[in-house]
Amino acid sequence: MLKKSRFTPPQILVLGFALIILIGSGLLMLPVSSTDGLPLPFIDALFTATSATCVTGLVVVDTGTHFTTFGQMVIISLIQIGGLGFMSMATLFAFILRKKISLRERLLLQEALNQGSMEGIVRLFRKVLIYSLTIEGIAAVLFTARWSVDLGFPKGLYYGIWHAVSFFNNAGFDLFGPITGPFTSLTAYAGDFITNAVTMALIVLGGIGFIVMSDVMDYRKTKRLTLHSKVVLSATSILIVTGALVIFVFEYSNSKTLGSLDFGGKILASFFQSVTPRTAGANTLDLASLRQASQFFMIILMFIGASPGSTGGGIKTTTFTMLVGAIVAMVRGKEDIVFFRNRLGKERILKAITLTMFALFLVIFVTMLLSTTEDHEFLMILYEVTSAFGTVGLTLGLTTKLTVFGKVMIALTMFAGRLGPLTLAYALQPKAEKELYRYPEGKITIG
């Protein structure tokens, strides 16, 4: 059926994700999914399923207190499928059934994993699967060992496995509502080194992308890293350190956030709050109590997001790096943008600019709409919309107060953020026709 389909890979990805969300919504509406035995309203089920499939983490009902074990398993399944991509899961079943991967399925995998070519795509998928399960397994063991002390072994094991999957896929869903109160995330573990370190490691590993992980793992043999990996690792490190420094400075004396922690706790919490806007959604500080400067800086980090081929969203670290490189080259009067002695093609710069403008227009448009329908502060709305676009899952408390229209718009923003604005644009555009002529070049004064 897939081979005969006339849909393009971007269209199949959009339809596939939409179908998974609808199935997830139906399952979450079942009375067996809710602890009160009542069906979850459709809009809330749709919002939750979209947030889980798009690995965001914004929730209108607390996951730990509202959903039964069945409902929680539905959510974590949607997170795993959404994080790896539904085509990756379909390919996994093809491997299990020893079915040959067709050319069209390879094209879909190429689109799903955000690759430039089909060369080695099935081999990369095998690595994606192995790395994901290995990292989630190690994290589950560490979480279990730590949380079993507080929760007992059975619950510690369940929480360990569940949160390892959630945090590696940068989803941000958590089950600590019954323990520390609804919508509290990891605030009770702000000073806990093991919980913070394992969670940050999962977020970073899930956010740098499978291409980079594969490249790093092969470094022993190749003794080299690709340009893509060098840019991603450099940008990720700089953004994390810069973010931690900014939050540490802005919040050092804030008694509602870092002020109540010792010096080591301040550093740990600063790094955690710098890492989590990279599309993770967990938090150890009360975000609503942060100073506005910190909240706005986190909006910038959320907009940048994770890296290509990862479980995260945003415009991506590589796009941001190319834009900065273009600015530096222009200021210095250079014609080429060069990273690690490699010149970037102009078509890549144009794609980076196009993606950023699409994303910027989307965030601005949705923020303007919600500013008229939601009676809340502008910064709170901008924070929510950017969090949804970057598939982050952080909120200043607006999610549970959204109107029906607001929930629909945020759900659509999460959907667009997970698939990417360009993928949606390619899916919706008519079939391209070859241009038979070119217009003469003109000049426009700039600046």
Point out the least confidently predicted range of 8-12, 90-94, 245-249, 411-415.
Answer: 90-94
pLDDT attached to residue 114: 54
Question: What is d(CA 143, CA 194) in angstroms, rounded to the nearest whole number?
Answer: 8
441 domain-assigned: no
What SS3 class is residue 343?
Answer: strand
- Between CA 419 and CA 167 the distance in angstroms is 19
pLDDT at 106: 57
| 391 in a structural domain | yes
Cβ atoms 359, 315 nearer than 8 A: yes
Domain count within the chain? 1
Q: Out of 112-126, 141-155, 275-289, 330-344, pick the least confident.
A: 112-126
Range of the domain at 359: 9-425
Q: What are the pLDDT digits (tens) for 26-37?
A: 999 999 999 999
| pLDDT for 111 | 52
Angle 352-354-358 from CA coordinates, rounded to 5°:
120
Q: Which residue has the higher pLDDT, 180 or 418?
A: 180
Residue 445 lies in a domain: no
Average pLDDT, the chain: 86
Going by pLDDT thresholds of 50, 70 and 90, the confidence category of residue 118 is low
pTM above 0.85, yes or no: yes
What is the Cα–Cα distance from 74 to 13, expressed in whole angstroms? 21
Span 420-431, pLDDT tens digits: 765 655 555 555
Banded pLDDT at 419 (limits 50, 70, 90)? confident
Mean pLDDT calculated for residue range 317-343? 89
User: 436 lies in a domain?
Assistant: no
Mean pLDDT on 153-173: 94
Residues 268-284, mean pLDDT to the nearest whole number: 92
Tens digit of each residue's pLDDT (9 = 90 or more) over 30-59: 999 999 999 999 999 999 999 999 989 999
How many Å apart are CA 378 and CA 410, to the nearest integer? 15
Lowest mean pLDDT among 14-23, 80-89, 268-277: 80-89
Is residue 25 included in any domain, yes or no?
yes
344 falls within a domain: yes
Closest CA to 102 of 12, 209, 216: 12
> Quick one: average pLDDT of 142-149?
96
pLDDT at 100: 59
Burial class (CB in 10 A: 0-12, 13-18, 19+), 221: exposed
pLDDT of res. 382: 97
pLDDT, tens digit, 9 for 90 and up, residues 367-413? 999 999 999 999 999 999 999 999 999 999 999 999 999 999 999 99
Is residue 328 in a domain?
yes
Residue 442 placed within a domain: no
Would you place residue 440 in the very low, low, confident or very high pLDDT band (cuts 50, 70, 90)?
A: confident
